[in-house]
Structure 1
Amino acid sequence: MYSEFKEFKNYPRPEEVDKWVESIWKMANSIKYDVEVLSDNGFSFNFGIRHVKNEFTYVKFKPEGMDEFYGYWQPVMSGPAPLLIHTPGYGAEISAHPELVSQGYNVLHISPLGYATPSGPDESKQRDNTWPVLADTIISYAEKGYKQWLVNCILAVRWAMAQTEVIENRVSFFGTSQGGGCSLLLGSIFKDKGVRCVAADVPFLTNLPMAKSLRAITYNYEPLCSIDNTDDGWQALGFVDTISHVNRLNCPVLLTAGGKDNICPAEAIKSLSQLLSGTCSYNYFENLEHRYSREFITLLLSWVRMYA
């Protein structure tokens, strides 16, 4: 694939990635969970945001054997309509998207693993002053961390798909940074299960060996030093590297990259675009840093209008 990066020799083969995805579905199918739609919309004077009653609302997901986590449900006024799933960056923020709802889309923001709540981040879940999802992926050899993160997303998507406002089997994924990378992973996971398109903004978890060689996101590789076998750690990263999912991404994919992004470098994102065989739009912004941008929102609105 990219023989100049020795880490790729440890990456899983396509058939191993398929089995890993199957194991995610098996885990999701085995979990019973309750859902509570919160009546107060999570309003707080600290946040200073209030919506029309029962328009946008928090949803609490309570899976057996896993931590509770939240979604932020933003339905259309009149449906049924397509479903858009937004996933958060590594800061575990919760986002509202009235601009998408006004264009006729249901939007569910998912905050996996209980990192963010209606009253703010749950800092008790941090480790070494950061969220441990990537470290847990490495030290568990891809059996925890992002695997559980993605299982949470499946449970939340299933709930949203069952809502009367939603067109059955018509879901798209979008996000920035970690949210962009995981949107691509969800596009792979939901292959042939209703996925329409993916929009990944400056996506993390993309060609990690190349990103490392460019001295980007080096802090995210520290967990590799805590395990006995670094090669196995790189294999774990390979399961969540979007490069490993190119054969499964059979829906239209929108990618953005920034010339001043020193966290998720444009070169790594461009390399993903060159491997995708289907419809793909790679958008490079020379002066864009690593952030959620107006440029992406403008592209996103056009992308979902064409494909969602």
Structure 2
Amino acid sequence: MDTNYEEFKNYPKPEEVDKWVESIWKMADSIKCDVEVLSDNGFSFSFGIRHVKNEFRYVKFMPEGMDEFYGYWQPVMSGPAPLLVHTPGYGAEISTHPELVSLGYNVLHISPLGYATPDGPDLAKQRDNNWPVLADTALSQGEKGYKQWLVNCILAIKWAMKQREVIENRISFFGTSQGGGCSMLLGSIFKDKGVRCVAADVPFLTNLPVARRFKSITYNYEPLSSIDNIEDGWRGLGFVDTISHVKRLDCPVLLTAGGKDDLCPAGAIKSFSESLPGTFSYNYFDTLGHRCSREFISLLSSWVRMYA
């Protein structure tokens, strides 16, 4: 970690990050979560051809003491097989991945905190026309926001691990932007708990102070302006900045970065990659902006074949 950046001086120490991860597991293990597999698979003729009719399904998770949230379950035709977990970008979209299912993987998309539902986004959960997960993380010094987001993920993954199609303790994570950053956080959280690999596409929550110095225009630093003690705000973000988890990420990590990305700058992602302790692949695309790309999908397919 580059101590030349003032914000890093407020970041939690490695042992504090370890305790934070332990507290996430403790919270998840203490919560009873009822689960309902919904009959509606979300496809309609207005969207064109249906894929694997009556196989893919929305899953409703109802954790005790927390808001309900949804996942989208995409099992292999025959198993058991490894599990790939996809997490959404900051737009809270729900997505399907039939190409990965056809390669022989179970895929679970998780939409934490109930932001996205089978009927569309729950805009009542927004504040100031935006999802509040990052602001809540900064304001609570890491005790709310993404901590609850990640607990939701663990609850959904626990359910998936019990499905007959899934090989136990063989799990990988992938996503774009927020989903890329959180896939690495989940890789850290599932260290020594079955994680095989991570694929993080133009990842947000990565080297935030460095990204700020690279003139990132992302709106996600605005929560800091409402915090009385700015050091506390950076401390909260430090728990979810993937740079704080880099030593815990000893599984293979795939990274992409775009030369036209002014939300998650390539320079911040590259400097992060240079701190990884194990196998990694940093892929820079000069003309790529901040979006999921065909390049990432191609790299992802190869990455999970090698490591998942």
Alpha-carbon distance in 2 for matches of 1:305, 1:145: 33
Q: Is the 8 A contact 1:211 1:217 kept in 2?
A: no
Q: Is the 8 A contact 2:51 2:98 kept in 1?
A: no
Alpha-carbon distance in 2 for matches of 1:240, 1:210: 15
SS at 1:247's partner residue?
helix
Alpha-carbon distance in 1 for matches of 2:122, 2:111: 11
* Equivalent AA in structure 2 for residue 52 of structure 1: V
Q: Is structure 2 residue 144 aligned with structure 1 residue 144?
A: yes
* Counterparts of residues 14-29 of structure 1 (less than 5 Å): 14-29=14-29
Alpha-carbon distance in 2 for matches of 1:3, 1:78: 50
Please state how far the C-alpha of 1:218 moved relative to its aligned partner.
Answer: 4.2
Deviations 1:154-193 (A, max 9, x none): 0000100110000010000000000000000000000000
Alpha-carbon distance in 2 for matches of 1:52, 1:243: 39
Percent of aligned pairs sharing the same letter: 82
Q: Is structure 2 residue 61 aligned with structure 1 residue 61?
A: yes
SS at 2:220's partner residue?
helix
SS at 2:94's partner residue?
coil
Please state how far the C-alpha of 1:48 moved relative to its aligned partner.
Answer: 5.4
Question: Runs of 5+ in structure 2 lacking a partner?
Answer: none
Structure-1 residue corresponding to 2:157: 157
Please state how far the C-alpha of 1:49 moved relative to its aligned partner.
Answer: 6.3
* Equivalent AA in structure 2 for residue 259 of structure 1: G
Structure-1 residue corresponding to 2:109: 109
- TM-score between both structures, scaled by the size of structure 1: 0.98
* Counterparts of residues 61-210 of structure 1 (less than 5 Å): 61-210=61-210
Deviations 1:255-299 (A, max 9, x none): 000000000000000011100010000000010000000000000
SS at 2:221's partner residue?
helix
Q: CA separation of 1:108/1:49 partners in 2, compared to 1, >3 Å: closer, same or farther?
A: farther
Alpha-carbon distance in 1 for matches of 2:137, 2:160: 27
Structure-2 residue corresponding to 1:248: 248
Structure-1 residue corresponding to 2:301: 301
Tell me which moved more, 259-268 or 42-51: 42-51
SS at 1:171's partner residue?
strand
Q: CA separation of 1:157/1:49 partners in 2, compared to 1, >3 Å: closer, same or farther?
A: farther
Structure-1 residue corresponding to 2:8: 8
Alpha-carbon distance in 2 for matches of 1:208, 1:215: 11
Tell me which moved more, 19-28 or 43-52: 43-52
Please state how far the C-alpha of 1:91 moved relative to its aligned partner.
Answer: 0.4
Aligned residues: 308
Q: Is the 8 A contact 1:44 1:119 kept in 2?
A: no
Please state how far the C-alpha of 1:43 moved relative to its aligned partner.
Answer: 3.7
* Equivalent AA in structure 1 for residue 141 of structure 2: Y
* Equivalent AA in structure 2 for residue 25 of structure 1: W
* Equivalent AA in structure 2 for residue 258 of structure 1: G
Q: CA separation of 1:49/1:132 partners in 2, compared to 1, >3 Å: closer, same or farther?
A: farther
Please state how far the C-alpha of 1:53 moved relative to its aligned partner.
Answer: 3.3
Q: Is the 8 A contact 1:160 1:166 kept in 2?
A: yes
Structure-1 residue corresponding to 2:226: 226
Alpha-carbon distance in 1 for matches of 2:43, 2:168: 30
What is the Cα-based RMSD across aligned positions, in Å?
1.1
Question: Runs of 5+ in structure 1 lacking a partner?
Answer: none
